[in-house]
A and B are shown apart, each in its own frame.
Chain A
Amino acid sequence: MDATAGAGPRLRARRRRYGEDVVKGVLAVCALISVATTVGIVIALFVPAYEFFQDISIVDFLTGTDWSPLFEPAHFGVLQLVAGTLLVTAVAALVALPLGLGSAIFLSEYASDRVRGFLKPALEILAGIPTIVFGYFALTFVTPLLRDIGIQVDIFNTLSAGLVMGVYLIPTVASLSEDAMGAVPRDLRDGAYALGSTKVQVATRIVVPAAVSGIVASFVLGISRAIGETMIVLIAMGQQPNLTVDPREAAEAMTAFIAATGAGDVPTGSLEYKTIFAVGATLFLMTFVMNIVAIRLVRKYREVYE
């Protein structure tokens, strides 16, 4: 094996240096830990999920509209949890996507270097606040606020969880979108200005379309984050499965169910224990597909402009 494969000129040593091989081996083993993590996740989720589907029909699981694993007779219709997740995700997306895109356009096209140097770390602070804190804020501040302005929400409700989660996701959407807009070459903007375009036209008709794959990637990643977020929905949205499109009511998201069941002392191997993994596998598959789409889209704009 060539010892200088990665970088530098291809020089052939007169004798083999075994120490160098050992080093490369140790580094590769560290890299393998991330592969082991993925394999571990897949095994941890899908083996118990498979056992679960030995007892419960997968068709009932995917199409049933009643989720009551603890009642007698128990029902395992995951749609009720999926609906909760999708509803809170929709509310969050309505906030995060436009506001994140708007923030990105401002940072990339309007802000001076000085203003950007101040705003970007500030957005990082927003992104660095733990979600448990947002959950607390949604429950103790936003829900009472909604009631004060006349929106009749339950104590636990999808609306305030979704609104807060949306704001929490603004930095995620903004930073990836801004990255993509920053990669759009200056020439394109200058050409449009030379033809007499205004700043608005350059931003909306040149930069945004040119960066569209990165922007879509930021949207997909933002939605994937919303689907996988746990603490905000656990604290503020509630823990009662509810098949509804009314965000003022309480409902239960997939992640909230997993956390609530995992926190309890369910006996290993019981059907209830296995529901964690069946729901977890569903969650993992949903986010996995979205993550891969986002990764591919990011590659696409990097290939075009870099």
Chain B
Amino acid sequence: MSRSLKGGLFRLALLFSLGVGFLMLGTLLVDVFKDGLPYLDKTLLTNPPSVDPEIAGARPAIIATLYLGGLLLLFTVPIGVFTAIYLEEYADKTRWYNRLLEINIQNLAAVPSIVYGILGLAFLVRGLGLGRVLLAGAMILTLLVLPTVIIASREALRAVPDSIRQGAYALGATQWQVVSRQVLPAAIPGIATGSILSLSRAIGETAPLIMIGAVTYIAFDPTILGPFTALPIQIYQYVRLPQDEFKLLAAACIILLLGILLTLNAFAIWIRNRYRRTW
């Protein structure tokens, strides 16, 4: 076989590999929109779930997902950023416990999400007796995405050049003054991007919430300390029902969920591009 033919075939094979992913992404979007669009109306937003697909909606699930998102940001951002600051600015990396901490976070990032669900079931729902409430769901999702937020925040802190730190030290700043007034402000765009991307991953998570017990029939608006459902859970419930109408309703909920997630992702990418700084 000639060299150029071989090169052409190889290139074609590579393009095919990449194409399969995008082909499926496209097909998936078209399929979901084709199924769900007729059901994407005001009823979906304002009505609770029902046994009659014509009047069934997803209002409690939508509200709960918004609550979950808010609580998640409230919990993950401070804990994640503080941990990242500790590892990046304070920790002595030659110490064994700091190395262990690092490996631990990398491993946690790859633990299956259902395992976090088991943790929530054992400790929050049954152990602490919190019950199957929205707060327990938010706490478990927090632990789930914390490693991602930490890793993204560390990268943002690491990108701040050392000369900025040295300059501040030279002017007599203490370490916390250097971190809080120079390094952290410079790293905020990167941290924000990472946090929003993690938030969007958490909002789409289903398995941990199933374990917490979100799979119940909820017809009223959720509260933080009450039983709850969420948009991915609502999708799961509708998919499981035998009637085809409910599958279409599930597709409508998927459009809604993807809309929220893509908006968040676009916002994160916008921040990344808008505030990108080269030092």
B-contacting residues, A102-117, CB 8 Å = 102-103, 105-107, 110
Number of residues from B at the complex interface, CB < 8 A: 92
Inter-chain CA distance A3–B126, complex, in Å, is 42
Inter-chain CA distance A240–B112, complex, in Å, is 21
In the complex, identify which listed stretch (B48-56, B79-87, B217-225) lies at the interface while the others stay far away: B79-87
CB nearest to B272 among chain A residues: A121
Question: What are the residues of chain B within 8 A of A9 when measuring CB–CB?
Answer: 166, 169
Q: Is there an interface contact between A102 and B265, defined as CB atoms closer than 8 Å?
A: no
A-contacting residues, B63-82, CB 8 Å = 78-79, 82
Q: Is there an interface contact between A26 and B82, defined as CB atoms closer than 8 Å?
A: yes
Q: Is there an interface contact between B101 and A30, defined as CB atoms closer than 8 Å?
A: no
In the complex, which of the residues B88, B114, B116, B269 has the most CB atoms of chain A within 10 Å of its own CB atom? B114
B-contacting residues, A1-58, CB 8 Å = 3-9, 11, 13, 17, 19-20, 23-24, 26-28, 30-31, 33-35, 37-38, 40-41, 44-45, 48
Q: Is there an interface contact between A106 and B206, defined as CB atoms closer than 8 Å?
A: no
In the complex, which of the residues A34, A171, A259 has the most CB atoms of chain B within 10 Å of its own CB atom? A34
Inter-chain CA distance A255–B33, complex, in Å, is 29
Instruction: Pick the residue among A27, A45, A199, A259 that contacts B211 (CB under 8 A).
Output: A259
- The reply to whether the CB of B200 lies closer than 8 angstroms to some CB of chain A is yes
A-contacting residues, B108-158, CB 8 Å = 108, 110-119, 121-123, 126, 143, 146-147, 150
Q: Is there an interface contact between B111 and A287, defined as CB atoms closer than 8 Å?
A: yes
Q: Is there an interface contact between B89 and A6, defined as CB atoms closer than 8 Å?
A: yes
- The reply to whether the CB of A167 lies closer than 8 angstroms to some CB of chain B is yes
- The reply to whether the CB of B90 lies closer than 8 angstroms to some CB of chain A is yes
Question: What are the residues of chain A within 8 A of B13 when measuring CB–CB?
Answer: 102
- The reply to whether the CB of A73 lies closer than 8 angstroms to some CB of chain B is no
Say how far B167's CB is from chain A's closest CB, in angstroms: 10
- The reply to whether the CB of A185 lies closer than 8 angstroms to some CB of chain B is no
Q: Is there an interface contact between B178 and A8, defined as CB atoms closer than 8 Å?
A: yes
- The reply to whether the CB of A262 lies closer than 8 angstroms to some CB of chain B is yes
Inter-chain CA distance A140–B239, complex, in Å, is 9
- The reply to whether the CB of A270 lies closer than 8 angstroms to some CB of chain B is no
B-contacting residues, A241-285, CB 8 Å = 255, 258-259, 262-263, 268, 276-277, 280, 283-284
Question: What are the residues of chain B within 8 A of A27 when measuring CB–CB?
Answer: 82-83, 85-86, 90
Question: What are the residues of chain B within 8 A of A20 when measuring CB–CB?
Answer: 174-176
In the complex, identify which listed stretch (A64-72, A75-83, A146-154, A220-228) lies at the interface while the others stay far away: A220-228
Inter-chain CA distance A263–B237, complex, in Å, is 11
Inter-chain CA distance A131–B204, complex, in Å, is 8
Question: What are the residues of chain B within 8 A of A61 when measuring CB–CB?
Answer: none
- The reply to whether the CB of B191 lies closer than 8 angstroms to some CB of chain A is no
Inter-chain CA distance A170–B25, complex, in Å, is 12
Question: What are the residues of chain A within 8 A of B24 when measuring CB–CB?
Answer: 126, 164, 167
Say how far A3's CB is from chain B's closest CB, in angstroms: 5
Say how far A188's CB is from chain B's closest CB, in angstroms: 19
CB nearest to A34 among chain B residues: B105
Inter-chain CA distance A139–B254, complex, in Å, is 14
Q: Is there an interface contact between B14 and A137, defined as CB atoms closer than 8 Å?
A: no
CB nearest to A229 among chain B residues: B112
Q: Is there an interface contact between B110 and A294, defined as CB atoms closer than 8 Å?
A: yes
A-contacting residues, B1-15, CB 8 Å = 3, 6-7, 10-11, 13-15
Q: Mark A131-151, 1 if CB is under 8 A from B, else 0.
A: 111111101110000000000
Q: Is there an interface contact between A38 and B265, defined as CB atoms closer than 8 Å?
A: no
CB nearest to B98 among chain A residues: A31
- The reply to whether the CB of B213 lies closer than 8 angstroms to some CB of chain A is yes
Say how far A138's CB is from chain B's closest CB, in angstroms: 10
Inter-chain CA distance A294–B103, complex, in Å, is 11
Inter-chain CA distance A133–B24, complex, in Å, is 12
- The reply to whether the CB of B104 lies closer than 8 angstroms to some CB of chain A is yes
- The reply to whether the CB of A230 lies closer than 8 angstroms to some CB of chain B is yes
Say how far A245's CB is from chain B's closest CB, in angstroms: 24
Q: Is there an interface contact between A4 and B175, defined as CB atoms closer than 8 Å?
A: yes
Inter-chain CA distance A135–B28, complex, in Å, is 11
Q: Is there an interface contact between A198 and B206, defined as CB atoms closer than 8 Å?
A: no
Inter-chain CA distance A230–B8, complex, in Å, is 39
- The reply to whether the CB of A125 lies closer than 8 angstroms to some CB of chain B is yes
Q: Is there an interface contact between B215 and A263, defined as CB atoms closer than 8 Å?
A: yes
Instruction: Pick the residue among A5, A19, A41, A125 that contacts B111 (CB under 8 A).
Output: A41
Q: Is there an interface contact between A131 and B206, defined as CB atoms closer than 8 Å?
A: yes
Instruction: Pick the residue among B232, B239, B269 that contacts A121 (CB under 8 A).
Output: B269
5 contacts between A and B (CB under 8 A): A30-B78, A31-B86, A34-B146, A102-B16, A137-B28
Ordered nearest first, which 4 A-B pairs have the shortest CB separation? Answer: A228-B112, A102-B17, A130-B204, A30-B82
Further pairs besides A27-B85, A136-B239, A258-B114: 15, Cβ < 8 Å: A3-B174, A6-B88, A6-B91, A8-B169, A38-B107, A40-B119, A128-B197, A128-B261, A129-B28, A129-B258, A133-B254, A231-B206, A263-B211, A277-B122, A287-B111
Chain B interface (Cβ within 8 Å of chain A)? 3, 6-7, 10-11, 13-18, 20-22, 24-25, 27-28, 31-32, 35, 78-79, 82-83, 85-92, 101, 103-108, 110-119, 121-123, 126, 143, 146-147, 150, 162, 165-166, 169, 174-176, 178, 197, 200-201, 204-207, 210-211, 213, 215, 232, 235-236, 239-240, 247, 250-251, 254, 257-258, 261-262, 265, 269
